[in-house]
Protein backbone atom coordinates (compact mmCIF):
# COMPACT_ATOMS: atom_id res chain seq x y z
CA UNK A 1 0.00 0.00 0.00
CA UNK A 2 1.21 3.49 -0.89
CA UNK A 3 2.05 5.93 1.88
CA UNK A 4 -0.58 8.61 2.18
CA UNK A 5 -0.30 12.15 3.50
CA UNK A 6 -1.49 13.16 6.93
CA UNK A 7 -4.37 15.13 5.39
CA UNK A 8 -5.46 12.05 3.42
CA UNK A 9 -5.26 9.87 6.52
CA UNK A 10 -7.42 12.29 8.49
CA UNK A 11 -9.94 12.49 5.65
CA UNK A 12 -10.20 8.70 5.47
CA UNK A 13 -10.79 8.46 9.20
CA UNK A 14 -13.33 11.27 9.30
CA UNK A 15 -15.37 9.55 6.61
CA UNK A 16 -16.05 6.83 9.22
CA UNK A 17 -16.98 9.11 12.11
CA UNK A 18 -20.30 10.69 13.01
CA UNK A 19 -21.09 13.24 15.67
CA UNK A 20 -22.29 11.74 18.94
CA UNK A 21 -26.01 12.41 19.38
CA UNK A 22 -26.69 10.59 22.67
CA UNK A 23 -27.47 12.99 25.50
CA UNK A 24 -27.18 12.79 29.25
CA UNK A 25 -27.99 15.03 32.17
CA UNK A 26 -25.14 15.99 34.46
CA UNK A 27 -24.72 18.07 37.58
CA UNK A 28 -23.34 21.58 36.97
CA UNK A 29 -20.31 20.46 38.96
CA UNK A 30 -19.50 18.00 36.18
CA UNK A 31 -20.46 20.28 33.28
CA UNK A 32 -17.15 21.99 32.49
CA UNK A 33 -15.89 21.09 29.01
CA UNK A 34 -19.11 19.31 28.06
CA UNK A 35 -21.10 20.14 24.92
CA UNK A 36 -24.52 21.62 25.58
CA UNK A 37 -27.36 19.54 24.14
CA UNK A 38 -30.20 22.00 24.81
CA UNK A 39 -30.89 25.66 24.14
CA UNK A 40 -30.93 27.65 27.34
CA UNK A 41 -33.60 30.34 27.63
CA UNK A 42 -33.98 32.57 30.69
CA UNK A 43 -36.96 31.53 32.81
CA UNK A 44 -36.97 34.88 34.59
CA UNK A 45 -35.35 38.30 34.64
CA UNK A 46 -31.86 38.68 36.07
CA UNK A 47 -31.78 40.34 38.47
CA UNK A 48 -35.38 39.41 39.24
CA UNK A 49 -36.01 42.75 41.00
CA UNK A 50 -34.62 46.30 40.84
CA UNK A 51 -31.68 46.39 43.25
CA UNK A 52 -29.26 48.80 44.81
CA UNK A 53 -25.67 48.80 43.51
CA UNK A 54 -24.35 50.39 46.72
CA UNK A 55 -24.92 51.13 50.40
CA UNK A 56 -27.01 54.26 50.96
CA UNK A 57 -30.59 55.49 50.94
CA UNK A 58 -33.37 54.75 48.46
CA UNK A 59 -35.06 58.09 47.73
CA UNK A 60 -37.16 59.98 45.20
CA UNK A 61 -34.97 62.13 42.95
CA UNK A 62 -37.65 64.82 43.04
CA UNK A 63 -37.16 65.14 46.83
CA UNK A 64 -33.44 65.90 46.65
CA UNK A 65 -33.36 68.24 43.69
CA UNK A 66 -30.87 71.07 44.31
CA UNK A 67 -29.38 69.43 47.43
CA UNK A 68 -25.69 70.12 48.16
CA UNK A 69 -23.38 70.59 51.17
CA UNK A 70 -24.68 74.12 51.80
CA UNK A 71 -28.32 73.17 51.22
CA UNK A 72 -28.80 69.61 52.49
CA UNK A 73 -32.20 68.00 52.11
CA UNK A 74 -33.60 66.34 55.20
CA UNK A 75 -35.59 63.11 54.73
CA UNK A 76 -37.34 60.85 57.20
CA UNK A 77 -35.83 57.30 57.31
CA UNK A 78 -38.83 54.96 57.38
CA UNK A 79 -37.16 51.54 57.06
CA UNK A 80 -33.92 49.65 56.53
CA UNK A 81 -33.40 46.88 54.00
CA UNK A 82 -30.40 44.59 53.46
CA UNK A 83 -29.69 42.06 50.67
CA UNK A 84 -32.00 39.06 50.77
CA UNK A 85 -34.84 40.97 52.45
CA UNK A 86 -37.74 43.01 51.14
CA UNK A 87 -39.08 46.27 52.58
CA UNK A 88 -42.85 46.53 52.64
CA UNK A 89 -42.65 50.31 52.94
CA UNK A 90 -43.29 52.69 50.07
CA UNK A 91 -40.96 55.68 49.64
CA UNK A 92 -43.23 58.70 49.54
CA UNK A 93 -42.54 62.42 49.48
CA UNK A 94 -39.99 63.40 52.13
CA UNK A 95 -38.99 59.84 53.05
CA UNK A 96 -36.04 57.51 52.49
CA UNK A 97 -35.26 53.83 53.12
CA UNK A 98 -31.77 52.90 54.34
CA UNK A 99 -30.57 50.30 51.81
CA UNK A 100 -27.57 47.99 51.37
CA UNK A 101 -25.97 46.64 48.18
CA UNK A 102 -28.05 43.94 46.50
CA UNK A 103 -31.26 44.75 48.39
CA UNK A 104 -34.48 45.30 46.40
CA UNK A 105 -35.22 49.00 45.91
CA UNK A 106 -38.53 49.74 47.64
CA UNK A 107 -41.51 50.98 45.71
CA UNK A 108 -41.61 54.72 45.13
CA UNK A 109 -37.81 55.26 45.10
CA UNK A 110 -36.18 56.02 41.74
CA UNK A 111 -32.54 56.37 42.82
CA UNK A 112 -30.11 55.48 45.60
CA UNK A 113 -27.93 58.11 47.21
CA UNK A 114 -24.66 56.66 48.42
CA UNK A 115 -24.10 56.90 52.14
CA UNK A 116 -20.92 58.98 51.72
CA UNK A 117 -23.17 61.75 50.31
CA UNK A 118 -25.21 61.85 53.54
CA UNK A 119 -24.72 62.27 57.27
CA UNK A 120 -25.53 58.55 57.79
CA UNK A 121 -28.65 59.60 59.76
CA UNK A 122 -30.74 56.83 61.28
CA UNK A 123 -34.07 58.49 61.95
CA UNK A 124 -33.57 61.50 59.76
CA UNK A 125 -30.93 61.79 57.10
CA UNK A 126 -29.30 64.84 55.52
CA UNK A 127 -28.70 64.40 51.79
CA UNK A 128 -25.78 66.41 50.37
CA UNK A 129 -26.24 66.07 46.62
CA UNK A 130 -28.89 65.60 44.00
CA UNK A 131 -29.35 62.65 41.66
CA UNK A 132 -31.22 62.13 38.43
CA UNK A 133 -34.02 59.60 38.31
CA UNK A 134 -32.66 56.03 37.84
CA UNK A 135 -29.15 56.91 39.00
CA UNK A 136 -27.62 54.13 41.12
CA UNK A 137 -30.64 52.03 40.23
CA UNK A 138 -30.16 48.56 38.72
CA UNK A 139 -33.44 47.66 37.04
CA UNK A 140 -34.86 44.16 36.99
CA UNK A 141 -33.63 42.29 33.90
CA UNK A 142 -30.47 44.42 33.64
CA UNK A 143 -28.39 41.29 32.95
CA UNK A 144 -31.00 39.45 30.87
CA UNK A 145 -34.75 39.26 30.51
CA UNK A 146 -37.14 36.38 30.80
CA UNK A 147 -37.29 34.65 27.41
CA UNK A 148 -33.81 35.72 26.30
CA UNK A 149 -31.78 32.97 24.59
CA UNK A 150 -28.67 32.72 26.72
CA UNK A 151 -26.79 29.66 25.42
CA UNK A 152 -27.11 27.73 22.19
CA UNK A 153 -27.05 23.98 21.79
CA UNK A 154 -23.56 22.89 20.68
CA UNK A 155 -21.67 25.34 22.82
CA UNK A 156 -18.86 24.02 25.00
CA UNK A 157 -19.49 24.82 28.63
CA UNK A 158 -16.70 26.73 30.33
CA UNK A 159 -16.68 28.28 33.76
CA UNK A 160 -18.66 31.33 32.62
CA UNK A 161 -21.44 29.25 31.03
CA UNK A 162 -21.60 27.12 34.18
CA UNK A 163 -22.02 30.32 36.19
CA UNK A 164 -24.80 31.55 33.87
CA UNK A 165 -26.63 28.22 34.32
CA UNK A 166 -26.22 28.45 38.09
CA UNK A 167 -27.58 32.02 37.93
CA UNK A 168 -30.73 30.60 36.38
CA UNK A 169 -31.11 28.28 39.34
CA UNK A 170 -30.22 25.23 37.24
CA UNK A 171 -28.65 22.35 39.10
CA UNK A 172 -28.28 20.07 36.10
CA UNK A 173 -27.79 20.46 32.38
CA UNK A 174 -28.27 18.23 29.34
CA UNK A 175 -25.08 17.58 27.41
CA UNK A 176 -23.90 15.17 24.74
CA UNK A 177 -22.17 12.11 26.11
CA UNK A 178 -18.40 12.19 26.05
CA UNK A 179 -16.48 10.38 23.32
CA UNK A 180 -15.30 7.00 24.56
CA UNK A 181 -11.98 5.38 23.72
CA UNK A 182 -10.04 2.31 24.67
CA UNK A 183 -6.26 2.27 24.85
CA UNK A 184 -4.49 -1.06 24.61
CA UNK A 185 -0.70 -1.20 24.54
CA UNK A 186 0.96 -4.28 23.11
CA UNK A 187 4.42 -5.67 23.70
CA UNK A 188 6.02 -8.64 25.46
CA UNK A 189 8.61 -6.24 26.83
CA UNK A 190 6.13 -4.07 28.69
CA UNK A 191 5.87 -3.91 32.45
CA UNK A 192 3.23 -1.87 34.18
CA UNK A 193 4.47 0.71 36.65
CA UNK A 194 4.56 -0.98 40.04
CA UNK A 195 5.70 -4.33 38.63
CA UNK A 196 9.29 -5.36 39.44
CA UNK A 197 11.93 -4.50 36.83
CA UNK A 198 13.17 -7.51 34.86
CA UNK A 199 15.83 -8.21 32.18
CA UNK A 200 14.81 -7.14 28.68
CA UNK A 201 11.72 -5.36 29.94
CA UNK A 202 10.75 -1.69 29.95
CA UNK A 203 7.93 0.11 31.64
CA UNK A 204 4.85 0.92 29.61
CA UNK A 205 4.76 4.69 29.23
CA UNK A 206 2.35 4.86 26.27
CA UNK A 207 -0.58 3.64 28.31
CA UNK A 208 -0.12 6.53 30.69
CA UNK A 209 0.73 9.20 28.10
CA UNK A 210 -2.20 8.36 25.86
CA UNK A 211 -4.84 7.81 28.54
CA UNK A 212 -3.81 10.98 30.36
CA UNK A 213 -3.92 12.99 27.15
CA UNK A 214 -7.27 11.59 26.06
CA UNK A 215 -8.79 12.38 29.45
CA UNK A 216 -7.42 15.91 29.30
CA UNK A 217 -9.23 16.27 25.96
CA UNK A 218 -12.52 15.24 27.55
CA UNK A 219 -12.52 11.60 26.46
CA UNK A 220 -13.82 8.86 28.70
CA UNK A 221 -11.39 5.95 28.53
CA UNK A 222 -13.57 2.89 28.92
CA UNK A 223 -10.92 0.19 28.69
CA UNK A 224 -7.19 0.50 29.15
CA UNK A 225 -4.43 -2.01 29.60
CA UNK A 226 -1.37 -3.81 28.36
CA UNK A 227 -1.47 -7.03 26.39
CA UNK A 228 1.42 -9.27 25.31
CA UNK A 229 2.33 -9.76 21.65
CA UNK A 230 -0.27 -12.44 21.05
CA UNK A 231 -2.59 -11.60 18.15
CA UNK A 232 -5.52 -13.70 19.41
CA UNK A 233 -5.33 -12.15 22.88
CA UNK A 234 -5.16 -8.62 21.50
CA UNK A 235 -8.07 -9.34 19.14
CA UNK A 236 -10.19 -10.66 21.99
CA UNK A 237 -9.46 -7.62 24.13
CA UNK A 238 -10.31 -5.23 21.28
CA UNK A 239 -13.53 -7.08 20.46
CA UNK A 240 -14.67 -6.60 24.06
CA UNK A 241 -13.57 -2.94 24.13
CA UNK A 242 -15.42 -2.21 20.87
CA UNK A 243 -18.76 -2.87 22.57
CA UNK A 244 -18.40 0.50 24.25
CA UNK A 245 -15.64 2.66 22.79
CA UNK A 246 -16.12 4.95 19.78
CA UNK A 247 -12.45 4.58 18.90
CA UNK A 248 -9.99 1.80 19.70
CA UNK A 249 -6.38 2.89 20.03
CA UNK A 250 -3.43 0.53 20.28
CA UNK A 251 0.30 1.02 20.35
CA UNK A 252 3.05 -1.29 19.13
CA UNK A 253 3.28 -4.05 16.58
CA UNK A 254 2.58 -2.11 13.39
CA UNK A 255 5.91 -2.44 11.58
CA UNK A 256 7.22 -5.40 9.64
CA UNK A 257 9.04 -7.34 12.37
CA UNK A 258 8.26 -10.82 13.65
CA UNK A 259 6.15 -9.53 16.51
CA UNK A 260 4.32 -6.90 14.51
CA UNK A 261 1.05 -8.61 15.25
CA UNK A 262 -1.46 -5.87 14.54
CA UNK A 263 -1.75 -6.92 10.89
CA UNK A 264 -2.83 -10.35 12.07
CA UNK A 265 -5.13 -8.83 14.69
CA UNK A 266 -7.12 -6.93 12.08
CA UNK A 267 -7.47 -10.12 10.07
CA UNK A 268 -8.73 -12.07 13.07
CA UNK A 269 -11.25 -9.32 13.78
CA UNK A 270 -12.35 -9.21 10.16
CA UNK A 271 -11.55 -5.50 9.94
CA UNK A 272 -11.43 -3.50 6.75
CA UNK A 273 -7.97 -1.92 6.50
CA UNK A 274 -8.28 1.79 5.72
CA UNK A 275 -4.60 2.66 5.52
CA UNK A 276 -1.15 1.59 6.66
CA UNK A 277 1.77 4.03 6.63
CA UNK A 278 1.52 7.79 6.57
CA UNK A 279 4.20 10.03 5.09
CA UNK A 280 5.06 11.66 8.42
CA UNK A 281 7.81 11.27 10.94
CA UNK A 282 7.33 10.15 13.64
CA UNK A 283 4.50 7.72 13.19
CA UNK A 284 5.12 6.45 9.66
CA UNK A 285 3.88 2.87 10.31
CA UNK A 286 0.45 3.89 11.63
CA UNK A 287 -2.26 1.39 10.72
CA UNK A 288 -5.94 2.21 10.62
CA UNK A 289 -8.89 -0.11 10.16
CA UNK A 290 -12.65 -0.16 10.46
CA UNK A 291 -14.02 -2.72 12.90
CA UNK A 292 -17.77 -2.79 12.41
CA UNK A 293 -18.86 0.78 13.11
CA UNK A 294 -15.72 1.54 15.10
CA UNK A 295 -12.35 2.97 14.16
CA UNK A 296 -9.27 1.01 15.14
CA UNK A 297 -6.14 3.13 15.11
CA UNK A 298 -2.87 1.30 15.70
CA UNK A 299 0.00 3.61 16.54
CA UNK A 300 3.70 2.99 16.68
CA UNK A 301 4.99 1.74 20.02
CA UNK A 302 7.66 4.39 20.09
CA UNK A 303 6.65 6.80 22.85
CA UNK A 304 7.18 10.04 20.90
CA UNK A 305 5.56 8.58 17.80
CA UNK A 306 2.51 7.44 19.76
CA UNK A 307 2.11 10.82 21.48
CA UNK A 308 2.50 12.85 18.27
CA UNK A 309 0.11 10.64 16.35
CA UNK A 310 -2.51 10.99 19.04
CA UNK A 311 -2.34 14.76 18.51
CA UNK A 312 -2.35 14.68 14.72
CA UNK A 313 -4.77 11.83 14.07
CA UNK A 314 -7.00 11.39 17.09
CA UNK A 315 -7.78 15.04 17.78
CA UNK A 316 -9.59 15.54 14.46
CA UNK A 317 -11.66 12.43 15.19
CA UNK A 318 -12.55 13.79 18.61
CA UNK A 319 -13.48 17.14 17.06
CA UNK A 320 -15.86 15.32 14.71
CA UNK A 321 -17.35 13.11 17.45
CA UNK A 322 -18.05 16.09 19.71
CA UNK A 323 -18.49 18.97 17.28
CA UNK A 324 -15.83 20.84 19.31
CA UNK A 325 -13.64 22.75 16.85
CA UNK A 326 -11.17 23.55 19.61
CA UNK A 327 -10.18 19.88 19.61
CA UNK A 328 -8.67 20.20 16.13
CA UNK A 329 -4.89 20.57 16.22
CA UNK A 330 -4.20 24.31 16.32
CA UNK A 331 -1.52 25.64 13.98
CA UNK A 332 0.37 28.93 14.28
CA UNK A 333 3.06 30.57 12.17
CA UNK A 334 6.30 31.31 14.01
CA UNK A 335 9.83 32.54 13.39
CA UNK A 336 12.23 29.76 14.24
CA UNK A 337 15.12 30.55 16.53
CA UNK A 338 16.60 27.10 15.78
CA UNK A 339 17.81 25.67 12.51
CA UNK A 340 17.17 22.04 11.53
CA UNK A 341 19.97 20.84 9.25
CA UNK A 342 18.62 17.42 8.24
CA UNK A 343 16.68 16.76 5.04
CA UNK A 344 13.01 15.86 5.58
CA UNK A 345 11.87 13.39 2.89
CA UNK A 346 8.47 13.20 4.65
CA UNK A 347 6.74 15.82 6.79
CA UNK A 348 8.54 15.92 10.08
CA UNK A 349 7.28 16.98 13.49
CA UNK A 350 9.97 18.24 15.82
CA UNK A 351 9.35 18.76 19.53
CA UNK A 352 9.68 22.47 20.29
CA UNK A 353 8.75 25.39 22.48
CA UNK A 354 6.59 28.22 21.12
CA UNK A 355 6.62 31.63 22.75
CA UNK A 356 5.52 35.05 21.48
CA UNK A 357 5.65 34.21 17.78
CA UNK A 358 9.00 32.42 18.05
CA UNK A 359 9.78 28.72 18.24
CA UNK A 360 12.87 26.85 19.34
CA UNK A 361 13.60 23.16 19.02
CA UNK A 362 14.04 21.20 22.27
CA UNK A 363 17.57 20.16 23.20
CA UNK A 364 18.45 16.53 22.57
CA UNK A 365 17.21 13.93 20.15
CA UNK A 366 13.95 14.05 18.18
CA UNK A 367 13.96 10.26 17.69
CA UNK A 368 10.62 8.63 18.06
CA UNK A 369 11.82 6.42 20.92
CA UNK A 370 12.80 9.41 23.07
CA UNK A 371 10.18 10.80 25.41
CA UNK A 372 11.82 12.72 28.26
CA UNK A 373 12.78 15.89 26.35
CA UNK A 374 9.18 16.29 25.22
CA UNK A 375 8.63 17.51 28.78
CA UNK A 376 8.34 21.29 28.69
CA UNK A 377 7.52 21.37 24.98
CA UNK A 378 4.27 23.02 23.95
CA UNK A 379 4.32 22.49 20.20
CA UNK A 380 5.60 20.48 17.25
CA UNK A 381 7.49 22.30 14.52
CA UNK A 382 6.14 21.10 11.19
CA UNK A 383 8.80 20.68 8.52
CA UNK A 384 7.13 19.99 5.16
CA UNK A 385 8.12 16.97 3.08
CA UNK A 386 10.97 17.81 0.70
CA UNK A 387 12.55 20.49 2.90
CA UNK A 388 16.35 20.38 2.58
CA UNK A 389 17.09 22.41 5.68
CA UNK A 390 15.36 24.83 8.02
CA UNK A 391 17.43 27.92 8.75
CA UNK A 392 17.25 30.08 11.84
CA UNK A 393 15.01 33.10 11.24
CA UNK A 394 12.71 31.35 8.73
CA UNK A 395 8.93 31.26 9.11
CA UNK A 396 7.57 27.84 10.01
CA UNK A 397 4.29 26.39 11.18
CA UNK A 398 3.89 24.88 14.60
CA UNK A 399 1.17 22.58 15.88
CA UNK A 400 0.29 23.50 19.44
CA UNK A 401 0.13 20.69 21.98
P1 LIG B 1 6.91 -1.46 18.25
O2 LIG B 1 6.05 -0.39 17.66
O3 LIG B 1 6.13 -2.51 18.93
O4 LIG B 1 7.84 -1.99 17.23
O5 LIG B 1 7.79 -0.76 19.36
C6 LIG B 1 8.71 0.25 19.02
C7 LIG B 1 9.54 0.64 20.22
O8 LIG B 1 8.71 1.23 21.21
C9 LIG B 1 10.20 -0.52 20.91
O10 LIG B 1 11.47 -0.11 21.37
C11 LIG B 1 9.28 -0.83 22.06
O12 LIG B 1 9.92 -1.47 23.12
C13 LIG B 1 8.81 0.54 22.44
N14 LIG B 1 7.47 0.49 23.03
C15 LIG B 1 6.45 -0.22 22.55
N16 LIG B 1 5.36 -0.06 23.31
C17 LIG B 1 5.72 0.77 24.30
C18 LIG B 1 5.03 1.32 25.40
N19 LIG B 1 3.75 1.02 25.61
N20 LIG B 1 5.69 2.14 26.23
C21 LIG B 1 6.98 2.45 25.99
N22 LIG B 1 7.69 1.98 24.96
C23 LIG B 1 7.07 1.13 24.12
MG1 LIG C 1 6.55 -4.41 19.58
According to the 3-state scheme, what is the secondary structure of 64-78? HCCCCCCCCEEEEEE
283-341 pLDDT, tens per residue?
Answer: 999 999 999 999 999 999 999 999 999 999 999 999 999 999 999 999 999 999 999 99
- Residue to mutate (ligand 1; options 184, 185, 187; most atoms within 8 A of CB): 187
Q: Name the closest ligand to CA 299.
A: 1
C-alpha 118 chain-centroid distance:
49
How many angstroms does the Cα of residue 254 sit away from the middle of ligand 2? 8
Residues 6+ apart with CB under 8 A from 283: 299, 300, 305, 306, 308, 309, 312, 313, 368
Question: Residue 1: its pLDDT value, please?
Answer: 52
How many angstroms does the Cα of residue 300 sit away from the middle of ligand 2? 8
Buried b (16+ CB within 10 A) or exposed e, 224-247: bebbebbbeebbebbeebbeebbb
- Residues 393-397, mean pLDDT to the nearest whole number: 98
How many angstroms does the Cα of residue 284 sit away from the middle of ligand 2? 15
Pocket residues: Cβ below 6 A from ligand 1:
185, 187, 189-190, 202, 204-207, 251-255, 300-303, 369
237-287 pLDDT, tens per residue?
Answer: 999 999 999 999 999 999 999 999 999 999 999 999 999 999 999 999 999
CA-nearest residue for atom 3, ligand 1, is: 252
- No. of H helices and E strands in the chain? 7, 23
- Residues 114-140, mean pLDDT to the nearest whole number: 98
Q: Name the closest ligand to CA 229.
A: 2
At 209, give phi and psi (nearest 5°): -60, -50
Q: Please check whether residue 373 is in contact with residue 351, taking contact to mean a CB–CB distance below 8 angstroms.
A: yes
Task: Determine the Cα–Cα distance for residues 243 and 239; give it in Å rounded to an integer.
Answer: 7
How many angstroms does the Cα of residue 101 sit away from the middle of ligand 1? 63
- Residues 64-72, mean pLDDT to the nearest whole number: 97
151-205 pLDDT, tens per residue?
Answer: 999 999 999 999 999 999 999 999 999 999 999 999 999 999 999 999 999 999 9
Q: In 242-344, which residue ranges form alpha helices assigned H by DSSP?
A: 262-269, 303-309, 315-322
- Residues 344-348, mean pLDDT to the nearest whole number: 97
- Residue to mutate (ligand 1; options 285, 301, 368, 374; most atoms within 8 A of CB): 301
Amino acid sequence: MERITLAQAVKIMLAQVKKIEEKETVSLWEAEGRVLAEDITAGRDQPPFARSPLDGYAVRSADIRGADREHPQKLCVIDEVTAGHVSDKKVEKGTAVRIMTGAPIPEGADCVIKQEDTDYGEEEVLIWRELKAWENYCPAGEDYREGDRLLEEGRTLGFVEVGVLAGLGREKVTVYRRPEASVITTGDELLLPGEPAAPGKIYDSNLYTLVTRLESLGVSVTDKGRVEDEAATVAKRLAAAAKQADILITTGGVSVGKKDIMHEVIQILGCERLFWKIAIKPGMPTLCARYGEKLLLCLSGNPYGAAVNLELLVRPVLARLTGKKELLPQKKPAVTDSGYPKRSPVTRYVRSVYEDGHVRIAKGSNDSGILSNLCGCNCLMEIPAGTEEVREGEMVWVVLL
